[in-house]
Amino acid sequence: MRNLIFILGDQLSPDLSSLRDADPACDGILMCEVMAEATYVRHHKRKIAFILSAMRHFAEELETAGFAVRYIRLDDPDNAGSFRGELLRAVEALAPQRVVVTEPGEWRVLDDMRGWSDAARCPVEIRPDRRFLATHEEFAAWAGTRRELTMEFFYREMRRKTGLLMDGDAPAGGRWNFDAENRKPAQQDLLRPRRRQFSPDAITRDVLSLVEDRFADHIGRLEGFGFAVTRADAETLLDDFIADFLPAFGETQDAMLTSDPNLNHALLSFYINIGFLDPLAVCRAAERAYLEGYAPLNAVEGFIRQIIGWREYMRGIYWLKMPDYAESNFFEAKRPLPDFFWTAETDMACLRTVIRDTIDTAYAHHIQRLMITGNFALLAGLAPHAVHEWYLEVYADAYEWVEMPNVIGMSQFADGGLLGSKPYAASGNYISKMSDYCTGCRYDVKKKTGEGACPFNALYWDFLDRNRERLSRNRRLAQPYATWSRMSDAQRQDFRASARRFLQKLDAAERV
């Protein structure tokens, strides 16, 4: 054998760099299902089932293309349990001239991978992942020239680089960013099309029973599993999104509704991150909808910005700052996550709804992740590393390169503002404005303190008060700090006492 090409579970793309010059006549493929990857955090059952089924279908695709695939299943009695162990077994069995692999999406895997060549006594070529627009070097060069790493400026570079939504050198419509038009609350829309679900085929059914059997104690439900597990089906979902949801994607991007957790979001991150959908092709499809007059500019620009802006930027930050980034803890927050993060058993309707949906579907949209669970974790002083592990565990689109900067940086401000200019901290008023959660809540969002008051209200002021040293010089927080200063001493004490009572209940594992 010439090359043994090792393909990881989130590298399911036929144009992957490790497959660039692959020749079925002399190269072989290695893919393996290993316990180490399913348990380094205790991933949601649905996430494990999705990845394993997608891997098995992709292996079939490669076999149809003529490749010999060494596919190791989780229940293979000789399974070594880890990437390294399976690589060593494969090298011993197949004696390739070299191993070729595309760089992984997580630092811990790359760190291990760097030792594979010595361990296997075989050259290992690690190729860059070309499924992103900016290379690590390009991102580092961009970052190196700036005092502040503002995403908006990076995004403009990516617009210029790709030509997406550009009229020559100028942005289409005369503005780079139409976000101001994308902050409306949502109304119930009974005509909103339903999401397509795929019935599990024989491969998926096998995987579902394997996961139920091996990971019964992991979070999540498998009933109703309807993910696409092939590239072709993921492309159908992209077509559905462009036709049915993109036109209205913009306006209600930040809104939340109890009865309609997805609104017009794409639900495509699973497929983009695993390699079924090419991010640039997704953006070109959205741009086409705009050029053909099918979707408005505010929607298409907002959508494209998430992918060539935020997604690329997050990856850039991750590789620029790892491994130290994982331990960032600007506020020195230490509190463990309350149990309700795994059970949804809380009286706070906003958290209960989002966590319940997360347990059921391994999905929540951006504002639910940022302004409900993330906001609560920030205000309640939960330890950012534990918060990061929870997000990595529960969402089916979560891989460290994208999850960690979103959690540690954007949501928890644990990097002290490298990534965001102010913490995404909000009181109940924001949640009440952008969602209908408060109408079904035991707490009263209008009540500031005392029995029955929305906990977010006191927690918000207490968070600002307790972190005054760290935050009061932040110009974007001047207004809330001025409001805090104008309050009477008694009012401030009331907020502090209310927050303290709530946090004591949390620490005592009482129901909140």
At position 511, the amino acid (one-letter code) is R
CB of 403 to ligand FAD, least distance (A): 3
Contact between 347 and 512 under an 8 Å Cβ cutoff? The reply is: yes
* Residue 437, contacted partner among ligand FAD, ligand DLZ, ligand SF4, none, CB below 5-8 A by kind: ligand SF4
User: Does 273 interact with ligand FAD (rule: CB under 6 A)?
Assistant: yes
Binding-site member from 9, 200, 309, 409 for ligand DLZ (CB under 6 A): 9
User: Does 405 interact with ligand DLZ (rule: CB under 6 A)?
Assistant: no
CB of 487 to ligand SF4, least distance (A): 20
Alpha carbon distance 24, 18 (integer Å): 13
User: Does 51 interact with ligand DLZ (rule: CB under 6 A)?
Assistant: yes
* Residue 258, contacted partner among ligand DLZ, ligand SF4, ligand FAD, none, CB below 5-8 A by kind: none
CB of 51 to ligand DLZ, least distance (A): 5
What order do you get walking across the sheet with 68-72 strand by strand? 68-72, 28-32, 3-6, 98-102, 124-127
User: Does 267 interact with ligand FAD (rule: CB under 6 A)?
Assistant: yes
If 0-12 CB within 10 Å is exposed, 13-18 middle and 19+ buried, where does residue 268 land? buried
Alpha carbon distance 281, 239 (integer Å): 12
Looking from the CA of 292 toward its CB, the CA atoms found within 13 Å total 10
Structure letter (DSSP) for residue 134 = S
Taking the C-alpha atoms of 157, 158, 161 and 164 in order, what is their torsion angle to the nearest 10 degrees?
A: -120
Short-list 246, 368, 238, 260, CA closest to 298? 246
Alpha carbon distance 340, 509 (integer Å): 9
Helix (H) or strand (E) holding 70: strand 68-72
Alpha carbon distance 310, 405 (integer Å): 10
Would you say 403 or 462 has its CB closer to ligand DLZ?
Answer: 403
CB of 175 to ligand FAD, least distance (A): 20
**One character per residue 412-431, x = contact with ligand SF4 (rule: CB under 6 A):** ----------------x--x
Binding-site member from 33, 287, 393, 403 for ligand DLZ (CB under 6 A): 33
Would you say 22 or 459 has its CB closer to ligand DLZ?
Answer: 22
Binding-site member from 19, 34, 164, 379 for ligand DLZ (CB under 6 A): 34
User: Does 370 interact with ligand FAD (rule: CB under 6 A)?
Assistant: yes
Binding-site member from 399, 443, 456, 460 for ligand DLZ (CB under 6 A): 399
User: Does 301 interact with ligand FAD (rule: CB under 6 A)?
Assistant: no
Binding site for ligand FAD (CB under 6 A): 265-269, 272-273, 303, 306-307, 310-311, 314, 365-366, 369-370, 374, 391, 395, 397-398, 402-403, 406-407, 410-411
